[in-house]
């Protein structure tokens, strides 16, 4: 299994080379040269596997024996050992309209990013030790990626990690989860800008070949293929509980950067019978607008109650573009160049038709988000955060409008614990949700972070000055 860039000028590389590179050197994103596919019988045989065993089975084709399935299993067992729910990714039946919620917040930072990040830190340890290298990890976060990454990589001997977050544009709990990680090699940087600014700085740093090579730059954002790979697993886990492969399943995914829902698309390529993927956006609805018009048009980021989706540049959509274009790297590169220059690109009618065969998109504003949180509590006695509310709304709309047949279960992804956004939840239902016991003292913990200008040279200089070199 080799890896190539969506822009056609980098690769083929091995899994671990793609892991450590993060972003392709031509500016594109890595994808495997082909999609492994399980037979119906092979998927049925997965029903008896534990979550770590399922993770190893799903990921093994992507590593082609390096790491082996046994090594992947050991990493997954270690990664998920301290998750607070025995099912790792528990499924809740709402008892109406064949709707289900998959709760993806039993990890240490109570958000879905833990599922990939805890595994990724183990994969980096193995790859760096094997190569005799050190790495500087640079990432951008709209809220949850940063805390999950800092928690997973803190204190790792071979890694220094720097996380950029938009100053004043994450929830207080999200910020505290990042800034209270005080450990060697762990650095939270508050950037004077929005998430798209942070993401652009990361990409610009990777595109500076001299800097990239000097510090051994790598990525943990979902631009890194190895970040998406473990997320494929929970799509299989929930579908198997609902009767797959004999039964089709639909998924509603709150998303801004398109990484989590693309992992669902990958699950479909691997043989999981997916009826539909529902994209749920907040007021920053660039993805919904694309599926309505066929044009990806950048707009100004507008702060919302669901800040992890306050994004107007959906980086992972490039991977779908590459697939829709028949894996034409040159065509993908042209579209991304146009987007960088003009803030817009359009796809052909044929590409749009292909995309709409599987994807449906909805949007929900802040007022609707509060109403959905209240509705979930009243109708299902379910506490949900604003992002999960957007996802649940998408699931209900898809059912109501007949986009998904009544006999097909819809799984709505609950991507964060409601206590990560206590003010919004309290506004909707009148009471703040409590943090889990392991985070009960979070808001009183000491914190450490640096405020930094929205300037590439400043950030590069900071990294070079504070990183460990031995």
- How many Å apart are CA 18 and CA 64, to the nearest integer? 13
- Active-site residue, selected from the candidate residues 113, 176, 203, 377: 113
Beta carbons within 8 Å of 323's beta carbon, 6+ residues apart: none
> Is 113 considered catalytic here?
yes
369-384 b/e (C-beta count within 10 Å ≥ 16 → b): bbebbbbbbeebebbb
Distance of alpha carbon 336 from alpha carbon 27, whole angstroms: 10
Burial degree of 428 (CB within 10 A; 0-12, 13-18, 19+):
buried
E strand or H helix at 91: strand 91-93
C-alpha to C-alpha distance for 188 and 140, rounded to whole angstroms = 10
Closest C-alpha among 412, 401, 355, 430 to residue 98: 412
Task: Calculate the alpha carbon distances from 135 to 4, 126, 162, 467 in Å.
Answer: 22, 12, 11, 10
Sign of CA dihedral 15, 21, 23, 25: negative
Rg (CA), the chain: 21
Contact call for residues 187 and 450 (beta carbons, < 8 A): yes
Beta bridge mates, 164: 140, 189
Q: Where are the alpha helices (DSSP H) in 285-365?
A: 286-293, 317-324, 329-342, 349-356
What the block records as the tokens of 302 is 């507008």
Reported as type and span, the H/E element at residue 218 is strand 217-218
Residues with a known catalytic role: 113
């Amino acid at each position: 299994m080799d890896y190539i860039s969506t822009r056609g000028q980098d690769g083929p590389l091995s899994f671990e080379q793609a892991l450590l590179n993060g972003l392709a050197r031509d500016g594109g994103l890595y994808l495997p040269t082909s999609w492994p596919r399980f037979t119906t019988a092979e998927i049925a045989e997965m029903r008896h596997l534990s979550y770590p065993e399922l993770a190893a089975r799903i990921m093994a084709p992507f590593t082609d024996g390096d790491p082996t399935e046994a090594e992947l299993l050991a990493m997954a067992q270690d990664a998920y050992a301290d998750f607070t729910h025995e099912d790792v990714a528990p499924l809740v039946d709402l008892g109406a309209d064949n709707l289900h919620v998959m709760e993806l917040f039993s990890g240490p930072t109570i958000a879905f990013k833990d599922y990939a990040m805890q595994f990724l830190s183990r994969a980096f340890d193995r790859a760096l030790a094997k190569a005799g290298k050190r790495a500087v990890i640079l990432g951008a976060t709209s809220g949850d990626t940063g805390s999950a990454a800092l928690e997973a990589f803190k204190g790792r001997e071979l890694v220094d990690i720097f996380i950029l977050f938009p100053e004043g544009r994450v929830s207080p709990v999200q910020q505290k989860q990042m800034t209270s990680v005080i450990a060697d090699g762990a650095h939270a940087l508050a950037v004077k800008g929005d998430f798209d600014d942070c993401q652009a700085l990361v990409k610009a740093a990777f595109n500076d070949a001299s800097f990239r090579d000097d510090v051994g730059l790598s990525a943990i954002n979902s631009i890194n293929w190895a970040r998406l790979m473990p997320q494929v697993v929970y799509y299989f886990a929930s579908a198997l509980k609902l009767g797959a492969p004999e039964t089709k399943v639909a998924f509603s995914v709150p998303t801004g950067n398109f990484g989590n829902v693309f992992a669902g698309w990958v699950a479909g390529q691997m043989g999981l019978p997916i009826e539909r993927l529902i994209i749920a956006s907040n007021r920053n609805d660039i993805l919904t607008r694309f599926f309505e018009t066929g044009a990806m048009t950048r707009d100004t980021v507008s702060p919302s109650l669901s800040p992890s989706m306050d994004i107007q540049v959906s980086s992972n959509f490039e991977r779908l573009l590459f697939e829709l274009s028949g894996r034409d790297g040159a065509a993908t590169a042209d579209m991304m160049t146009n987007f960088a220059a003009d803030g817009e690109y359009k796809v052909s009618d044929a590409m749009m038709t292909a995309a709409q065969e599987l994807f449906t998109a909805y949007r929900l504003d802040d007022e609707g988000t509060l109403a959905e949180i209240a509705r979930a509590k009243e109708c299902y006695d379910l506490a949900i955060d604003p992002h999960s509310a957007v996802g649940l709304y998408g699931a209900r709309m898809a059912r109501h409008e007949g986009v998904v047949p009544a006999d097909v279960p819809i799984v709505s992804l609950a991507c964060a614990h409601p206590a990560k956004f206590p003010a919004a939840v309290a506004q909707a239902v009148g009471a703040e949700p409590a943090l889990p016991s392991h985070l009960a003292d979070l808001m009183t913990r000491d914190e450490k972070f640096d405020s930094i200008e929205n300037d590439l040279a400043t950030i590069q200089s900071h990294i070079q000055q504070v990183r460990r070199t031995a």
